[in-house]
Amino acid sequence: MRLAGRTLRCVNGYGIGYMTANENLNFGPLILASGSPRRAQLMQEYGYKFVVEVPSPEAECGMCSQESPPELVQRLALQKAADVAPRIARGILIAADTVAHCHGQILGKPRNREHAGEMLRLMSGRVHQVYTGVVVWHRPSDVRFQDVVRTDLRMDSLSDAALEAYLDSEAWEGKAGAFGYQDGLDGVHIVEGEETNVVGLPMPRLQEMLKYMLGLDNP
């Protein structure tokens, strides 16, 4: 199955399979399986009407040192969707997970100010990657699509004053890699990829996945 020139996995309760664009599913409301205000804001800015179901805290964690960044975000996004799915009788779930990756290290959400400073110093003056895993899951059919989107960024060298000012702002809290592209941190440039992916939800790819789920697009 092809989507935007890439293979997209279609999965159901019986394993990996294929869903035709004309398959008749009983669609319901969109459900954003995330407590992230940034993902909700992106959905609103793109004109989607949706409800929010926040995954349990247990579904939000579980990093594994043996996983690559794409494997990690795909698993965690699916983990969040699977946590919310039993609560939904009918509808289309959207779940996502985002991490940064720099110099061989996976950077999730910082534990505290000191940890945030360590992450930012690591990325200072370097190119790094942001990966977001996305799951679109229909209930009750349990047909789902999964994909991972990557964006490459370059962070200019941060002065001590700029770093301390950003840490003082506390804008790093709850954000993969300890910064939000939308926060206006000077010296962060997209090298290749989608801006909304850095914020936490790659909207162009999500739109393609939803169109295919709804049978409005062809592979």
Q: Report the catalytic residues.
A: 97
C-alpha 45, offset from chain centre: 16
Q: Give every CB contact of residue 151 below 8 A, 6+ residues apart in sequence.
A: 129, 130, 190, 192, 193, 194, 195, 197, 198
Contact present, 94 and 32 (Cβ < 8 Å):
yes
- Are residues 219 and 15 in contact, defined by beta-carbon separation less than 8 angstroms? no
Exposed / middle / buried, residue 25 (Cβ in 10 Å: 0-12, 13-18, 19+): middle
Number of residues that this document lists for the chain = 219
- Partners of residue 131 on adjacent β-strands: 99, 150
Nearest to 131 by CA among 97, 164, 157: 97
Quote the CA–CA distance of 122 and 120 in Å, as a whole number.
5
